[in-house]
Structure 1
Amino acid sequence: MGSVRAGFTGAVNSEWIKFCGLISNKVLAGVTFVLIVANAVLMPWAYVLRDRGSVQSDYDPYPEMVIDKTAYIGLILAILATLVITNEYRSGQIKTTLLATPTRTPVLAAKAVIVAGIGFVIGVVSAGIGYVLAPVILARGGYSYILTTSDAVRLVLGSGLYLAVLPILGLAVGVLVRSVVGSVLVVLALMLIVPYVPQIFSAAGAIITQYFPLQAGSRLLTVIEPGSLDPWAGFGILLFWTLIVVVMAGIAYHRRDA
């Protein structure tokens, strides 16, 4: 048991060193953080400076405006996670990785821990900064919103959880597809294109659309509306999708040659 723990700890340390060793990884993670914080600042400012005569501007400020683009910005982390594994296949480094850790499960689990941990920190910290700055910005225009404790937990913690799970899904896609370009295309298709296909064939397609990964998981970050999918239920659906793809990736990872 101790050797298993040692192997996993070593794998995590190794994956962290490899992650930090590539500037592109740091850049993509940094860009994600900056974009989310920028949105958190710009959305309240946009509300304060909005054209009062515009019909589109006739709404009250709401807490979710701070992180309402996080769902789509988070795709950068999903793509980053695919690159974490596909770049190893492309360069052949995966063979060295598996020689150092012959048992494959710790390697895949370590990669998941790294990308999930980075996503969680980015989500929680960026949302926290946003909810500190947004009320100050809105107050300059004489505006405010009501943020209950339960909503604060959902929005801040939910940002971290959403950005932790999405990269794991991206990582699993990368394991299955292996190709850098192919993995990125599959992630984008699964998140942005395929979910809206049902709407083309049926008016009821919108109901189906909300059960796809991004659309369901992002319910944690959006306004709660009567009759719509519950935020935590939506996150559960994202977890379910991720579990399915991870299991498929795990089977392929163990059965295929490096």
Structure 2
Amino acid sequence: MTLLAVERIKLFTTRSPWWCALVALAVTVGFAAMISASAPSAEFVNVASSEFGYRFGMAVVMVLAALAVTTEYRFGTIRTTFQAVPHRGAALTAKATVVAALAAFIGLLAGFGSWAVALLIQPDGDLALDSAADWINVAGISVVYGLAAIIAVAIGILVRHSAGAVAILLIYALAVENLVQLIPTVGEKIYAWLPFNVAHRFIAGDGVAQDGPPLSNSPLTPGWALAYFAGFALVMLAVAIGVAKKRDA
């Protein structure tokens, strides 16, 4: 608990988490507002379409998570952390836990905020949360943001440079996975197992493509898709911690 408290203090005494949280919420909720306001009629607005911008908010959240680690490497405070806590794995796990908790909270606000804005703009839209799929589409963003933050922390530990980590995360999350589909013959098969595409399978489920973001082509069920994404995040963190233990801070 002491490690968690220390990491919480370190995280919330810098400005970047606050700004990133605000930007993530503004982007996600802003997309919901634009899509709802520009819809030809209320029948084109539903739960899936209200969450269209969650991927852009997730990218900002991953920047937040990466900076939480790389800033310490940049200013050398990570050395003090490792001196105070010789067990590097415990220190880095505590940091990942705190950052993931914040990311999950931002995701919860973003999911329900987007849904609420869509409901406010198009009260006659199909926005009732009357099925498990609808609730996952909204509340599931919280889980995905938390796991994405763990991945970003892992990348931050491995790269240790803010610009490099942020570039890798943004380019991969927003472009690389989609570009993989362009590879002849095997592109779609590879894309089906890429982590953020699988995470979208959990969020979107068996929805209708025209009602929101393009559907995932992952063959997994939503439950197994979440397990796959969670496993990928934990493996990434384990690899990063293993690397951190073997090299100088």
Shorter-chain-normalised TM-score: which range? 0.7 to 0.9
Corresponding residue of 1:243: 234
Aligned partner of 1:237: which letter? Y
Query: Between the two proteins, what is the percent identity of the paired residues?
Result: 24
Residue 39 (structure 1) aligns with: 31
- Residue of 67, 77, 91 corresponding to 2:51: 67
> Structure 1 CA distance, aligned partners of 2:171 and 2:120?
38
AA at the equivalent of 2:121: I
3-state DSSP class of the match of 2:181?
Answer: helix
Name the amino acid aligned to 1:15: E
Letter in 2 for 1:242: A
SS state at 1:144 partner: coil
Q: Give the partner amino acid of 1:91.
A: F
Give 1:207's match in structure 2, choosing from 189, 196, 206.
189
Aligned to 1:169: 151
Taking the aligned partners of 1:144 and 1:192, their CA distance within structure 2 comes to 28
Q: Kindly state the Cα deviation for residue 223 of structure 1 after the two structures are TM-superposed.
A: 5.7
The CA deviation string for residues 44-65 of structure 1, in whole angstroms up to 9 with x for no partner, is: 2221xx3x8xxxx9x7332111
Q: 2:166 aligns with which of 184, 190, 206?
A: 184
- CA RMSD, 1 decimal: 2.4
1:128 lines up with 2:112 in the alignment? yes
State the TM-score, normalized to the length of structure 2: 0.86
Give the superposition deviation at 1:170: 0.4
Q: Which runs of 5+ in 2 are unaligned?
A: 209-215
For 1:72 and 1:235, locate their aligned partners in 2 and report how far apart those are by CA, in whole Å: 19
Q: Shift of the alpha carbon at 1:179? A: 1.6
The correspondence of residues 1-258 of structure 1 with structure 2, limited to 5 A, is 9-47=1-39, 50=40, 60-139=44-123, 142-145=124-127, 147-222=129-204, 224-225=206-207, 228-229=217-218, 230-258=221-249
Tell me if structure 1 keeps the 8 A contact 2:20–2:61: yes
Q: Measure, in 2, the Cα distance between the counterparts of 1:178 and 1:35.
A: 27
Residues 100-144 of structure 1 deviation map (CA, whole Å, 9 limit, x = unaligned):
2222122111111111111111111222233334234213xx543
Which secondary structure state, in structure 2, belongs to the residue aligned with residue 224 of structure 1? coil
Residue identity in the other structure for 1:148: D
- What residue ranges of structure 1 are gaps of 5+ in the alignment? 1-8
Q: How far does residue 22 in structure 1 lie from its aligned partner after superposition?
A: 0.9
- Cα deviation, 1:201-224, whole Å, max 9, x if unaligned, reads 314412321321222112233362
Distance change (3 Å), C-alpha of 1:202 and 1:154: same
Q: 1:132 to 1:208 in 2, by over 3 A?
A: same
More displaced, 194-203 or 29-38? 194-203
Query: Which is further off, 114-123 or 219-228?
Result: 219-228
Whether the 8 Å CA contact 1:66–1:130 is kept in 2: the answer is yes
Deviations 1:162-190 (A, max 9, x none): 01000110000111111222212222343
**Cα distance, 1:236 vs structure 2:** 2.5
Distance in 1, Cα, partners of 2:92 & 2:197: 26
Separation (CA, whole Å) in 2 of partners of 1:170 and 1:199: 23
Alpha carbons 1:62, 1:145 under 8 Å: kept:
yes
Larger Rg: 1
